[in-house]
């Protein structure tokens, strides 16, 4: 069996008891289809196959994918060798799980955890639940509330689409190679309806992005580069004050409803001026 590769951030879970616990607490039923990201040596895959109707496991490493295909041949597990970040999630769900509710359950590579979580949440309508094992410090970002040190852009994105709950911690000794930090398993229960409904979703996410780019900056100074084609700095300050959002606050002191208010106000004012509210964006989200 292939050894771990640093470029893929591989830390293989070695405890069957923990893998079984993850599958058992994920809420997955015999009627679910399951997507697993980075199955590695298949320790979690085995238990996901037992609790669900079908598992599609996406593995980027060809040296791991081949033995996994042989091991699970003839079972309810399909192994796809591909980069999950390049996969079309909607097409995958429609083609592999017609008529089934779908859950995600995975021990995801730590070096691309943020990109994976963001992609899953931006396609949250495809899933019932998302259960992830990640580094403990990263896990805290998924359920942090405003004002907490771990509160981040990802915290806001998570709270828009899901209710996050830590299930349990996992010691570093449960992996090979042993990482330098402990891990945690987090359950994201996807909301049937988004917690907010901004008029311009692209603008909403862009405002969140800019608010967390430089954490020491005030929300006024963070957002002005994005919105200076709509407001002078004094006008932006007045607009924030009008929303009962002090311009001296920082992004980590705002919640999803504050970001929704700002986004809708910008959309309204841009429409009055007949300007594209995202014309000032040069960076992409």
For residue 6, CA distances in Å to 108, 177, 213 come to 14, 10, 28
CA dihedral 216→220→225→227, nearest 10 degrees, is: 150
Domain with CATH 3.40.50.150 in the chain: 6-190
Is residue 165 a contact partner of residue 187, using CB atoms and an 8 Å limit? yes
Domain with CATH 1.10.8.100 in the chain: 201-273
Under 8 Å CB-to-CB from 261, ≥6 apart: which residues? 243, 245
Distance separating alpha carbons of residues 99 and 102, to the nearest angstrom = 9
Average pLDDT value for residue range 135-161: 94
Percent of the chain with pLDDT over 90: 87
Question: Which residues on adjacent β-strands are paired with residue 152?
Answer: none
In the CATH scheme, what is the code of domain 6-190?
3.40.50.150
In degrees rounded to 5, what are phi and psi of residue 234? -65, -40
**What size, in residues, is the chain?**
285
Can you give the pLDDT at residue 139? 96
Architecture in CATH of 201-273: Orthogonal Bundle (1.10)
Average pLDDT value for residue range 1-9: 47
Q: Can you count the helices (H) and strands (E) in the chain?
A: 11, 9
Structure tokens at 161: 């689409």
Average pLDDT value for residue range 182-203: 95
Query: Is a pLDDT exceeding 60 seen at residue 239?
Result: yes
Average pLDDT value for residue range 154-170: 96
Average pLDDT value for residue range 113-132: 96
Query: Is a pLDDT exceeding 50 seen at residue 270?
Result: yes
């Amino acid at each position: 069996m292939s050894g771990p590769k640093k470029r893929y951030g591989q830390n293989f879970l070695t405890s069957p008891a923990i893998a079984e616990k993850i599958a058992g607490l994920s809420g997955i039923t015999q009627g679910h289809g399951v997507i697993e990201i980075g199955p590695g040596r298949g320790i979690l895959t085995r238990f996901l196959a037992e609790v669900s109707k079908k598992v599609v496991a996406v593995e980027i490493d060809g040296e791991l994918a081949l033995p996994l295909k042989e091991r699970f041949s003839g079972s309810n597990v399909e192994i796809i060798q591909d980069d999950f970040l390049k996969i079309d999630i909607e097409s995958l769900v429609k083609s592999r799980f017609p008529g089934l509710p779908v859950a995600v359950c995975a021990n995801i590579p730590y070096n691309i955890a943020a990109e994976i979580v963001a992609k899953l949440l931006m396609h949250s309508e495809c899933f019932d639940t998302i259960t992830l094992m990640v580094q403990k410090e990263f896990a805290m970002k998924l359920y942090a509330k405003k004002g907490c040190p771990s509160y981040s852009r990802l915290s806001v994105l998570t709270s828009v689409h899901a209710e996050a709950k830590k299930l349990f911690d996992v010691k570093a000794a449960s992996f090979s190679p042993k990482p330098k930090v402990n891990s945690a398993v987090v359950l994201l229960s996807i909301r049937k309806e988004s917690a907010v409904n901004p008029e311009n979703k692209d603008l909403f996410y862009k405002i969140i992005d800019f608010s967390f780019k430089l954490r020491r900056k005030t929300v006024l100074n963070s957002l002005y580069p994005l919105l200076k084609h709509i407001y002078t700095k004094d006008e932006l300050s007045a607009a924030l004050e009008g929303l009962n959002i002090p311009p001296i606050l920082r992004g980590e002191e705002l919640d999803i409803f504050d970001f929704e208010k700002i986004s809708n106000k910008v959309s309204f004012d841009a429409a009055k001026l007949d300007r594209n509210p995202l014309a000032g964006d040069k960076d992409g989200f």
